[in-house]
Amino acid sequence: MDALTNISIGLGIALEFYHMAVMLTGLVIGVVAGALPGISFVNAMAIALPFTYMMTPLGAMVFLGGIYAGGVFGGSISAILINIPGVPSSLPSCWEGFPMTRRGESAKALTIAITAAATGGLVSALVLTFAAPPFASFALRFDQPEFFAATMLGLVSIIAVARGTPWISFLSLFLGIAIGSVGTDPVYGVPRLTFGFSALEGGIDFVVVMIGLFALCEVLEMLGKHAYQNSDARVKLRPPTKKELWGLRGPIGRGTFLGNIIGLIPGAGATVAALVAYSIEKTISPRKSEFGTGVPAGLAAPEAAGNATTGAAMVPLMTLGIPGSAACAIMLAAMILHGITPGPMLFAMQSDMVYAIFASFLLANLCMIVAGVFVAKGFSSLLRVPPTILGAFIVILSVLGAYGVRNNVVDIYLCLTFGVLGHLMKRFNFPSTPLILGVILGPLAERYFITAMANYDNDLTIFFTRPISATIVAFTVIFILWALTPDLLVKYNRRRRKKREMMEKNLRSREAA
């Protein structure tokens, strides 16, 4: 009851004109920044941070919370419409959303994404409201082994994406991990795989790889075959029916649940949640063989999961001061800037402010539907532009996006190289998705592994002896077995059938003889 009373007080504060205005401004900035390739919402939050000086502490948190809530969804707009994931967690939206756009179903894909993202976000805001205080004591048990185990769960999700090509997919994944490890190592400061090029010592950013492999590769194909002509898009532009949306309640529910659980784990974040949700959906879906061709369930689940992490990731931030993601780290910086100390004492001393932040997060997720629709409508008009013109601007935005990572021209060269590589990979059916996953999660896994080993005397059993870590590892093993069983069964049945045919053939030839 306490929480209900507190949230109603918080809602009253959040609904004040000033707080609503800054929240809506932040929301629109977040959706637009997320949708523009290269200007991620995290960058937007970082740029906006100094502007919060002129705001009240609560106003600053509400403003940044708006950017955060809108930004995670915004990345999906460009992923669905032009195959450029605005944020890493929008990767599954490229796999399922963009094929829908190519079929002329962009409105349907966007509506599904907005509905799923808003549902995930709303539930996570409720989780934030009601789970934050009890979580404070539980989250104290999380350490490097748990973070490593969670990252490994994200990495093995590739099994579901592998689609009957396990050797090549895992090779691609390991290649991605190797690319992700290029540069100076995070603990000892030793340059790895740089071959004497000082420009590589800073590493290869996943954004650069992602933009190259997805956006540039797509533009080159667009140039080569003029793939999605826009007359089609205009004819078939229709949103999904209520029945179709209701049919997605399962994927959205599962994604929301997963996103909330994974979001609570500091460091795991929206990307892991979206990928795991996609993999699980692919494993259990009756349309699993069609995944990658624009299956709505494959779009809805990761969208819900990605946004469900936003509120959940704020739980460890507010209760313990542990930022669960880069966005949360900026929120933490803002809290410190404004003299707010996160932790259990914050709930006791400034509960009005805490619950006003929670309430504005709830409102931001509700308003996101409107903001998302408006921004998506603006982006949808892009589809009416001839592919050649659109392609030219995608390349320029990609180049700017790569440059914007570190303001370094080397990133442009890397991005273009990965674009060419992506084209070659596509032509030879070499999967690029596992590579991306390796580049994104590899460095995280390395950092967690090295620090876990350093903190626990190089004891590998630590991942299996700590209860939470062991539970996540068990989930990982169950997931691998679950994902591999159908493939193994098919192979086993095929082999048995061949053996039987061979025996019958021998029998017939013996009889004939």
Partner 1 sequence: MVNHERTGIIRHLLPPMLFIVAVPVLLRYLAPDIGQADAMARGLAGPVSWPRFALYGVLFCAVGWLIQSLRQMRREAQTWRLGQPAASDDETMEPEQDEAFNEPLIWSGVALTLAYGFLIPVVGFALATMAYLLFWLLLGGIRKPVLITGITVLGTVLLLYVFVKLALMPLDRGQGMFDGITVSLYRLLRIY
Residues 383-422 that bind partner 1 (CB under 8 A): 386-389, 391-393, 395-396, 399-400, 403-404, 407, 409, 412-413, 415-416, 419-420
What is d(CA 390, CA 480) in angstroms, rounded to the nearest whole number?
A: 41
Stretch in the footprint of partner 1 (CB under 8 A) among 11-19, 70-78, 230-238, 452-460? 452-460
Nearest CB to partner 1, comparing residues 353 and 480: 480
> By CB under 8 A, what part of segment 34-93 binds partner 1?
39, 47
- Contact flag: residue 464 with partner 1 (CB under 8 A): no
Tell the smallest beta-carbon distance from residue 15 to partner 1 (Å): 31
Cβ count within 10 A of residue 25:
15
Judged by CB under 8 A, which of 86, 251, 342, 438 binds partner 1? 438
125-128: long-range contacts at Cβ-Cβ below 8 A with a sequence spacing of 24 or more?
125/310, 125/311, 125/358, 125/361, 125/362, 125/364, 125/365, 126/311, 126/362, 127/260, 127/308, 127/311, 127/312, 127/315, 128/311, 128/312, 128/314, 128/315, 128/318, 128/358, 128/361
CA gap 233, 99 in Å, rounded: 12
Pairs from 243-248 (Cβ < 8 Å, separation ≥ 24): 244/108, 244/296, 245/111, 245/112, 245/115, 248/112, 248/115, 248/116, 248/296, 248/297, 248/300
| Subset of residues 120 to 179 that bind partner 1, contact rule: CB under 8 A | 164-168, 170-171, 173-175, 177-178
Q: Provide the minimum distance between the beta carbon of 338 and partner 1 in the complex, in angstroms, as a whole number.
A: 24
Q: Amino acid identity of 210?
A: M
402 contacts 411 by C-beta, under 8 angstroms: yes
Contact 437, 175 (CB under 8 A): no
219 binds partner 1 (CB under 8 A): yes
**Nearest approach, Cβ of residue 409 and partner 1 (Å):** 5
**What CA–CA distances, in Å, run from 109 to 79, 99, 197, 297?**
11, 9, 43, 10
Q: Which one, 125 or 161, has the nearer CB to partner 1?
A: 161
Is residue 202 exposed (0-12), middle (13-18) or buried (19+ Cβ within 10 Å)? middle
Q: Could you tell me the smallest distance in angstroms from the CB atom of residue 415 to partner 1?
A: 8
Residue among 50, 224, 286, 339 that touches partner 1 (CB under 8 A): 224
Choose between 244 and 501: whose C-beta lies nearer to partner 1: 501
Q: Which of 446, 473, 476, 483 binds partner 1 (CB under 8 A)?
A: 446
Residues 6+ apart with CB under 8 A from 209: 176, 179, 414, 415, 418, 435, 436, 439
* Residues 6 or more apart in contact with residue 477 via CB below 8 angstroms: none
Considering the complex, what minimum distance in angstroms separates the CB of residue 226 from partner 1?
8
The tokens of 472 are what? 């996540």
With CB under 8 A as the contact rule, the residue among 41, 430, 463, 479 that binds partner 1 is 430
Minimal distance, residue 5 CB to partner 1, in Å: 43
- Near partner 1 by CB under 8 A: residue from 198, 458, 509, 512: 458
Contact pick of 9, 11, 220, 468 for partner 1 (by CB under 8 A)? 220
C-beta closer to partner 1: residue 140 or 490: 490
Q: Rank residues 134 and 166 by Cβ distance to partner 1 and give the closer one.
A: 166
Is 191 or 250 the residue whose CB approaches partner 1 more closely? 191
The site for partner 1, by CB under 8 A, has a size of 72
Give the integer Cα–Cα distance in Å for 354 and 60. 13
Positions 169 through 198 that interact with partner 1 (CB under 8 A):
170-171, 173-175, 177-178, 181-182, 185, 187-196
For residues 242-301, which are near partner 1 according to CB under 8 A?
A: none
The answer to whether the CB of 332 falls within 8 A of the CB of 323 is yes
- Nearest residue (CB) to partner 1, 316 versus 401: 401
Among 454, 478, 488, 502, which residue interacts with partner 1 (rule: CB under 8 A)?
Answer: 454
Shortest reach from residue 199's CB to partner 1, in Å: 13
Structure tokens at 271: 């990307």
* Least distance CB 139 / partner 1 (angstroms): 25
Closest to partner 1 by CB, 12 vs 378, is: 378
Our finding on whether 460 is near partner 1 (CB under 8 A) is yes
Q: Toward partner 1, which CB reaches closer, 89 or 181?
A: 181
Spatial neighbors of 23 by CB under 8 A, at least 6 apart, are 14, 62, 63, 65, 66, 360, 363, 364, 367
Burial string for 228-242 (b: 16+ CB within 10 Å, else e) reads bebeebeeeeebbee
Q: How far is the CB of 412 from partner 1 (least distance, A)?
A: 5
The nearer residue to partner 1, 163 or 236, going by C-beta atoms, is 163
Q: Does 225 interact with partner 1 (rule: CB under 8 A)?
A: yes
Is 199 among the residues that bind partner 1 (CB under 8 A)?
no
User: Cα–Cα distance between 32 and 305 in angstroms, integer?
Assistant: 20
Cα–Cα distance for residue pair 20/370, rounded to 1 Å: 14
CB of 499 to partner 1, least distance (A): 16
Nearest to 90 by CA among 102, 78, 103: 78
Give 183's strand partners: 192
Site track for partner 1 across 347-386, x = CB under 8 A: ---------------------------------------x
